[in-house]
Chains A and B, each alone.
Chain A
Amino acid sequence: MLDTWRWWRGILIAFGLVAISRLFIPLPFLNEVLIFSIYTIGCNFLLGKVGFISFGQPAYLAIGAYGTAFYLFYFGTNPYIGILVGLASGLIFSTLVAPMFVRLRSDYFALVNLALAVIIFYMMQKVFAGITKGDNGLWFLASIASTPLLDLTKPSDFFTFSLLVAIALWAFYKYIDGTIFGACCLATKINETKLQFLGYSNFRIRLIAFVIANTSTALAGSLYAVYLGSVSPEITSPARTADPVVVTILGGVGSLFGPLVGTIAYTGLRDVISKLIGNWEFFIGAILVIIMLTNSSGLYGSAEALLKKLVNKLKSQAEKQVLK
């Protein structure tokens, strides 16, 4: 019982804070934060645990979003089934491309993913313009049916739903970290040869990790689709390909709550700075360079280290007093 509580403690506290902050932070911002952090955690996993840097996450985001959009626009009205369709299309798509991509070296991997994002962009914008309505995008907000229990057309219910999804996803990634598979992922990043020597297939581990990460990215895409009620090619535009990487670095690579903290900082900075000066790229870029140069572990990573130091200090002080 105590162990279970300990395991869940971090996740529940973090998302409990998000839930409480609803009282004084506007709902659209929080919804954006939740979806974006789900979007980023896949990239965080790839970069932090498997050593793949991907500049093409929007491709998978778009696959999930368009999967949901096609279902809701052409076939059905139930948003839950729509999200499942988006998830399934993400799973199928990433399984299809994974065998080709995971063979590549890390730098080529980044660039090929970037290329994939651009291909998807042009496909959605031009080639399949008949189905995707080109630049205008698909609009289906009115056709999403209200469902009992959690009505996803209401922002407040959507918030509850995405909070639950995020908690489940974080628990899933935390669970993976603790399994042998998680250890293998880390090993394939650090020492391929040794892992091979131990009898594991690097290719297979990378393949599974790639599929897991990009399916969760696709999930974020389908959440976006349901939340906004529309999808346009803008979602995978070449100018936004590096967003998840930036957020991952900002939050702290490989840490569990890095994506959440990074997203809050990124979205917050973007909103605040663009309101005040209207020039947020400069600050985000400068922060990114500073984090990389000072070799710090991002916002969450540094905060975690500081917290640990503080706790240790308090503990040692308490011990000293006891000794006295």
Chain B
Amino acid sequence: MDGQLLVSGVIFGFSLASIYFLISIGLSLCFGLMRIISLDQLLYYSFGAYITYTVTTITGSFWLGVLCGVIVGGLLAFFVERAIFRRIYERELTFSMITSFGVLLGGIGLIKFIWGVVPRPVKTPFTDQIVLIGTEIPAYRLLVILIAGLVYLGIWLFLNKTIIGKAIRAGIEDMNHVEGLGINVTRLFTITFVLAASLSALGGALYAPLIIVDPSMGLEVLAFAFMVVIIGGLGSIKGTLISAIIVGQVVSIGSLIYAPLAIMAPFAMMLVILLIKPTGLFGSKLTK
């Protein structure tokens, strides 16, 4: 394996990791704060990609499409949270898992209804190549990595420097105390849910030019998103970042070595990690 291949493989892995990170951070936040497993994050991811497709084809501006995708994803999540999730926060985990799967399934039906079943390609906003250590790399992938990095920084600042973020972090530790301090927990949940969904939608919107957008894209990435969350530990943001990078690199570099095993390898890794440490790398012992 020569150096150029390796460099491009690593960059590819990081861009994959960025997308996985954006999707799974929502799952992780929802679990950490509300103790729900929100499979419908994958729905906002698909919606983000589809809205990006529509707006890009109409206006020709990709970044406007991404913006619209994030906004629509967030709005959709707001309504879903108000109508459905508000009623089930008190219930056990499996309950939210099944309900959110129902939302995901219904949403996929809705996507098929609006956009049809034909896969849609999204044009890459720019096709420039950047030379890095003697290897040509698509600039768009680097930009995706940069955006994911900024998002991580933004979330870190949000959680550590703002009062809402601090309340969210406290809520992950102990919800009852936060409620006792007089913080409006219902509003906190809505904010977290919409934030999580917007990030998933951003992931979908950014990923759209790199893949072909089709109705079942959410289901395809579901297993990977879960894997990232599980390896990192449910509810841990640092863990999600690290495990996203691990999974992205394993898939990318693995496919350079032996393609058929590349997609399987992270799953095998997850099984091993779970057997050694059943709560994931950074997971705390959360029980409900």
Residue of A nearest to B221 (CB): A238
Q: Is B264 an interface residue (CB 8 A)?
A: yes
Question: Which of B103, B104, B216, B260 counts the most A-chain CB atoms under 10 A from its CB?
Answer: B260
Q: Is B82 an interface residue (CB 8 A)?
A: no
Contacting residues, chain A, for B220 (C-beta < 8 A): 238-239
Contacting residues, chain B, for A112 (C-beta < 8 A): 230, 270-271, 274
With contact pairs A108-B274, A238-B222, A292-B88 given, residues A285 and B104 touching in the complex (Cβ less than 8 Å): yes
Bound-complex Cα distance A129 to B260 (A): 10
Q: Is B5 an interface residue (CB 8 A)?
A: no
How many inter-chain residue pairs (CB < 8 Å) link A and B? 130
Contacting residues, chain B, for A119 (C-beta < 8 A): 264, 267-268
Bound-complex Cα distance A80 to B94 (A): 38
A288 touches B102 (CB 8 A): yes
Residues of chain A from 113 to 160 with CB closer than 8 A to chain B in the complex? 114-116, 118-119, 122-123, 126-127, 129
Contact of B98 among A105, A283, A292 (CB under 8 A): A292
Contacting residues, chain B, for A104 (C-beta < 8 A): 274, 278
A110 touches B275 (CB 8 A): no
With contact pairs A115-B227, A239-B220, A284-B105 given, residues A279 and B99 touching in the complex (Cβ less than 8 Å): no
Contacting residues, chain A, for B101 (C-beta < 8 A): 242, 245-246, 288
A281 touches B106 (CB 8 A): yes
Q: Is B87 an interface residue (CB 8 A)?
A: yes
Kindly supply a per-residue 1/0 record for chain B positions 81-114, scoring 1 wherever the CB is within 8 Å of any chain A CB and 0 otherwise.
Answer: 0001001100001110111011111111110110
Contacting residues, chain B, for A293 (C-beta < 8 A): 84, 87-88, 99
Q: Is B37 an interface residue (CB 8 A)?
A: yes
B274 touches A107 (CB 8 A): no
Q: Is A282 an interface residue (CB 8 A)?
A: yes
Distance in angstroms from B234 CB to nearest chain A CB is 7
Contacting residues, chain A, for B88 (C-beta < 8 A): 292-293
Bound-complex Cα distance A104 to B93 (A): 14
The B contact surface, by secondary structure, is helix
Contacting residues, chain A, for B94 (C-beta < 8 A): 47, 51, 53, 106-107, 110
A280 touches B37 (CB 8 A): no
Distance in angstroms from A272 CB to nearest chain B CB is 15
Interface magnitude class on chain A: 35 or more
The A contact surface, by secondary structure, is helix
Q: Is A100 an interface residue (CB 8 A)?
A: yes
Residue of B nearest to A281 (CB): B109
Kindly supply a per-residue 1/0 record for chain A positions 267-310, scoring 1 wherever the CB is within 8 Å of any chain B CB and 0 otherwise.
Answer: 00000000000011111111111001100000000000000000
Residue of A nearest to B104 (CB): A285
Contacting residues, chain B, for A47 (C-beta < 8 A): 94
With contact pairs A286-B102, A293-B87 given, residues A279 and B109 touching in the complex (Cβ less than 8 Å): yes
B104 touches A279 (CB 8 A): no
A105 touches B278 (CB 8 A): yes
Contacting residues, chain B, for A100 (C-beta < 8 A): 271, 275
Residue of B nearest to A104 (CB): B278
Q: Is A111 an interface residue (CB 8 A)?
A: yes
With contact pairs A115-B271, A245-B101, A249-B98 given, residues A286 and B106 touching in the complex (Cβ less than 8 Å): yes
Bound-complex Cα distance A283 to B112 (A): 12
B105 touches A288 (CB 8 A): yes
With contact pairs A114-B226, A293-B99 given, residues A127 and B87 touching in the complex (Cβ less than 8 Å): no
Contact of A111 among B102, B109, B226 (CB under 8 A): B226
Contacting residues, chain B, for A289 (C-beta < 8 A): 84, 99, 102-103, 106
Q: Is B75 an interface residue (CB 8 A)?
A: no
Residue of A nearest to B96 (CB): A292
Distance in angstroms from A58 CB to nearest chain B CB is 12
B109 touches A292 (CB 8 A): no
Residue of B nearest to A249 (CB): B98
Distance in angstroms from A188 CB to nearest chain B CB is 15
Interface contacts beyond A115-B230, A288-B102: sample of 8 additional A-B pairs, CB < 8 Å, sorted by A: A112-B270, A115-B223, A115-B267, A129-B260, A246-B102, A288-B99, A288-B106, A292-B95
- Show 20 residue pairs from A and B whose CB-CB distance is below 8 angstroms, ordered by the A residue: A53-B97, A100-B275, A114-B222, A114-B223, A115-B223, A116-B271, A119-B268, A129-B260, A238-B219, A279-B112, A282-B109, A283-B106, A284-B105, A285-B102, A285-B105, A286-B102, A288-B101, A289-B102, A292-B95, A293-B88
Residues of B that sit less than 8 Å from A by CB = 37, 84, 87-88, 93-95, 97-99, 101-110, 112-113, 216, 219-220, 222-223, 226-227, 230, 234, 259-261, 263-264, 267-268, 270-271, 274-275, 278, 287
